[in-house]
Amino acid sequence: MKWFNNWFRKKCKEAWHAEQCEPAYPSTGANSPVSISRYGGLDSHGLSLNIYGADGGTVLEFRHYDISKDRSDYALHVISQNENFEERVAQAITMEMLRKGIMR
């Protein structure tokens, strides 16, 4: 069974490496999300942000990984076209950082 352990270890390393080598910049398609991400382990304890274009506005998706519970928590914020985008993004980021205890 040592061959299986070696094969499995090799596949896990390849999958890990492939995930770590994904491009940090998203494609520029009309419906593709804008993603802000960092590799190297920093984002696993922080807050991830995806921005999606929607009819009549924008959707912000936040993801926070809780290592103690081994669980990802998601939160969505909707910004309509009538609202100030920069102000609402800043409010949403601040709210999520306070909610998750990232900002002290």
pLDDT at 25 over 80: no
**Are 47 and 102 a contacting pair, CB within 8 Å?**
yes
> How far apart are alpha carbons 30 and 96 in whole angstroms?
27
Of all helices (H) and strands (E), which one includes residue 88? helix 85-100
Measure the CA–CA gap between 44 and 4, rounded to whole angstroms.
Answer: 30
Does residue 80 carry a pLDDT above 90? yes
pLDDT confidence of residue 69: 82
What is the value of pTM for the model shown?
Answer: 0.56
Q: Among the listed ranges 18-27, 62-71, 87-96, which one has the minimum average pLDDT value?
A: 18-27
CB within 8 Å of 37: residues ≥ 6 apart? 24, 43, 48
Q: Which residues contact 39 (CB under 8 A, 6 or more apart)?
A: 20, 22, 24
**Nearest-CA neighbor of 46 among 20, 19, 66?**
66
